[in-house]
Amino acid sequence: MSEPLYPIKKGSFTFYIKSNYTGIEFELVGFTMNGAVGFYKKYHSEFFDEEVPGHPGIDIADYLFEKLKAEADARLNEYLEKHISDYSVYELTRASSGDFWSGAGKEPEHRLDRELDCSKILDGIVGLYLYGYTASYNFREDKFTGLKSRYGSEAREVTPMTALYGQSLDMMLALEQYKRGVAPPAYSEIIRLNAFLEGKKSLKLVMKSGVVHNLKSRCGDIHLYSLLVDTGNDFVLYDSYDITPRLGRNEPLTSLDYLQYGRGKFVIDTEALNTFEI
């Protein structure tokens, strides 16, 4: 049988707490606002069972994240429209960012900490922890009242777009150009190759010489950077320790016939991959 919930009323809020089994200390389970909408902390869905019927249950962390993302997406769309004809991102990232290529075609994953800062909950304020950032939301005013970086000795104010997309604006711009059909041929081919590699832990490199090499990931799926190297002038096959037998050196892509996984074959468009003209 679950512990009983104790209501605390303050203005338009009713907060619900329960004992942590000591009978001395209590923890916040959730709250209702204006007698209708009910919010609960993760793992406390029992708040909306028999004890408080008739309230739609909303997870606080998910609710706040979706509101923050809506604000970030609005600014992101403005940024993409403004920079859609900017192709410098490809040259700026060549030979310097494997993540740019291995992440091609994928939207960034957002890391959400399920812990909440409820130290100001009686004032209607809840803190949401993102990876590297803290967002404060005022339920009374129905808006975010602060978004700060958690890096460094001093916290600094940032925008929702910076918090969610600040490290991946180049990738988001390149992806949008791909969706609109205006990305360089090389980037489009990289997206096609990444789609083939996704979920695969091993595959074969069939060379034009007839020699077959096996590529097997030691940890997780095969990534683009375990197969290709961007020299800054072109892409070449990477002489990885995960390949048996070893290539002996980084080989030009023209020496590869196709990649094989089971009965499936993938032929890399080498001309497109090494073309960056728009």
End residue of a domain, out of 174, 203, 230: 174
The per-residue pLDDT for 1 is 43
pLDDT tens profile 200-231: 999 999 999 999 999 999 888 898 888 988 87
Between 95 and 146, name the one with better pLDDT.
146
Which residues are bridge partners to 215 per DSSP? 203, 243
Mean pLDDT check: name the lowest of 34-38, 170-174, 175-179, 257-261: 34-38
Number of domains comprising the chain: 3
Q: Are 85 and 152 part of one and the same domain?
A: yes
Could you tell me the pTM of the whole model? 0.78
End residue of a domain, out of 145, 174, 203: 174
Q: Are 162 and 230 part of one and the same domain?
A: no
Beta carbons of 91 and 276 less than 8 angstroms apart = yes
End residue of a domain, out of 174, 200, 235: 174
pLDDT tens profile 133-144: 889 999 889 899
Report the largest interatomic distance among the alpha carbons of the chain, rounded to a whole angstrom.
78
For 113, the domain range is 63-174
Beta carbons of 238 and 250 less than 8 angstroms apart = yes
Q: Are 166 and 269 part of one and the same domain?
A: no
Q: Are 167 and 129 part of one and the same domain?
A: yes
Q: Are 112 and 11 part of one and the same domain?
A: no
d(CA 113, CA 245): 43
d(CA 232, CA 53): 63
Amino acid identity for residue 259 in this structure: L
**Exposure of 90 by Cβ count < 10 A (0-12 exposed, 13-18 middle, 19+ buried)?**
buried
